[in-house]
Amino acid sequence: AVVSTQSTGDVQNLELTENEKNRLIVLQDLCRRKYHVTPGSKFGGDFLAYPGDPLVYHAYFVVRVYNEDCTDSGDLLALSRLASSVKKVAVAAIIKNGTVKYISLQWSGLR
């Protein structure tokens, strides 16, 4: 099989929905940062990010992709609690003008 790679700039020219484009931008960015990435739907996210080979390492992060108007605090709280329950860090990947910003969320509960 032949796999073609495209730069982030090429994403805008593909016939994808806005959500698909944003997920592709984040996927490319995580791969550029040397994470191994797998689907994360089982853990409430878009992706799981591993520091190395998924057959050797556990995922560190559950990543969910948001557009720039990420204002649903309930959704962020749910992501954080779910990731915490599976011993991972929740990461909100926020897309603004084609740029990715990451916010890590950890649930500490009430003490």
Catalytic pick from 88, 96, 101, 102? 88
Inter-residue contact 53 to 47 (CB < 8 Å): no
Catalytic pick from 21, 35, 50, 66? 50
Strands 47-50 and 61-67: antiparallel
Catalytic pick from 42, 58, 96, 101? 58
Query: What b/e readout covers 41-71, taking b as 16+ CB neighbours within 10 angstroms?
Result: eebbbbbbbbeeeeeeeebbbbbbbbeeebe
Identify whether 34 is a catalytic site residue. no
Identify whether 96 is a catalytic site residue. no
Identify whether 42 is a catalytic site residue. no
Active site residues: 50, 58, 88
